[in-house]
A and B are shown apart, each in its own frame.
Chain A
Amino acid sequence: MHSHHESASVFNWAQLILALPFLMAWFLYLLAAFTSKKKWPLYRIVLWTFGISLSLISVIGPLAERSHTDFNAHMLSHLFLGMLAPLLLSLSAPLTLAFRSLSVQIGRKLSKLLKSKPLKIAVHPLAASILNIGGLWVLYTTGLYGLMHEHKWIYVLVHVHIFLAGYLFTIAFLYIDPVSKRYSFKFRAAVLILAFAGHGILSKFIYANPPAGVPVKQAETAGMLMYYGGDVIDILIIVVFCYQWYHASRQGTSLSQANPS
């Protein structure tokens, strides 16, 4: 990889493009939450604000700057942008808030969009896992990681993908907001385990096979950061998932009889 002494200024417009949607989303969410006739829970506003902040930290400012040259910084921002922020944002139920605040007509259009074929396929647990974990395998096992630091537009696209795939992944397994089709707990549990396994295996693979241009020592610590950091967020997702399962089985006689929806 060539040197990145100019990266701070070169990547400015890329940072701006990535940061703006988050700032807008934050503003719109607050606007909707505070003008809502029915009281919108404060904890959701807090979760949303945390999620947006973590996303911003990953795409703009010192951590984002450092991630161009330091694989550990990149990995930390990956954990924030691709895992923790999507979890916090999905827990704050933005779609539910949107449906509550939008006019009936626009609400209908939105729900039609959500029921469209491509989105319906994308929130299938298998498709969401492949987009998310598969995307990471492509990023770290091909030349894409190196290319990303040489071309700004690839850098932007990769980061948009990391966030969107992470968000899609979270809402494909945790049903906080309405989704077009709900899959059974058992099916989601099985796919979730495989997806987390794919993430863990990739972490160890990176430890042993650094992406092109990444020094061995950095790949080792970053691989461990991805592995154990991933664990922490996996655990949070599993707890919410199992809580939903536990909650749904209240009427039934056992957890195994619980059905979704």
Chain B
Amino acid sequence: MEKRQALNALSGVLFGLGLVAFFDETVFHQLLYWHHFYDKSTTDIGLVSDGIFHSFSWFATIASLFMFADLRRKNVFYGKRWIGGILTGAGAFQLYDGTVQHKLMGLHQIRYGVNILPYDLVWNITAAAMLAAGIMLLIKTRHGVKADA
């Protein structure tokens, strides 16, 4: 029983992480061109961290959807907990990206040639809010055994 609880959360977390990475790539890199493909000031560790997260996020997105199908197949899908997982994964990754990768590792900035502070604030506050909401949902659904699929 605990295993299925953990798997519902894990599938959500992985999907949330992949979702943010996908959003980042399509909206900020490809559509708006706000992010740079490669910032000449990027540190080696920033490049490695970016590479691993990029690769992991594709794997996470696809694996989480197969996990979702597996939970549905076994009739143990728990939607609320899954959404809690999504918010947690999305918030955690965006917060890590906005603080550690953008600031500490200097991977790239959200936008160039403008006052970056408002952008950074919006980015990280949204991330923290998603993370908090996700964790709260996960705590609330900790003991829920009934599948609401």
Contacts and interface: CB of A to CB of B under 8 A. Distances in A.
Contacts of B48: 197, 201
Interface string A186-203: 000100111011111100
A194 B52 contact: yes
A224 interface: yes
Contact of B58 (A204, A238, A243, A256): A238
A196 B48 CA distance: 11
A205 interface: yes
Contacts of B7: 254-256
Interface stretch (A87-95, A159-167, A245-253): A245-253
B145 to A, nearest CB: 15
Interface string B1-41: 00110010000000000000000000000000000011010
Contacts of A177: none
A192 B74 CA distance: 27
Given A253-B3, A254-B7, A239 B62 contact: yes
Contacts of B62: 235, 238-239, 242
A204 B4 contact: no
Interface residues of A, number: 31
Interface in A206-261: 207-208, 223-224, 227, 231, 234-235, 238-239, 242-243, 245-246, 249, 253-256
Contacts of A198: 51
A196 B66 contact: no
- The SS class assigned to the A binding surface is helix
7 contacts: A193-B52, A196-B59, A197-B55, A204-B38, A234-B58, A245-B63, A253-B74
Interface string B50-67: 111011101100110011
Given A192-B59, A242-B63, A200 B51 contact: yes
A201 B47 contact: yes
Given A204-B38, A207-B38, A235-B62, A254 B51 contact: no
B148 interface: no
A239 B55 CA distance: 14
A169 to B, nearest CB: 14
Given A204-B37, A254-B3, A255-B7, A189 B51 contact: no
Given A197-B52, A199-B55, 10 more contacts: A196-B58, A200-B50, A204-B37, A208-B38, A223-B37, A223-B38, A239-B62, A245-B66, A246-B69, A256-B7
Contacts of B66: 242-243, 245-246, 255
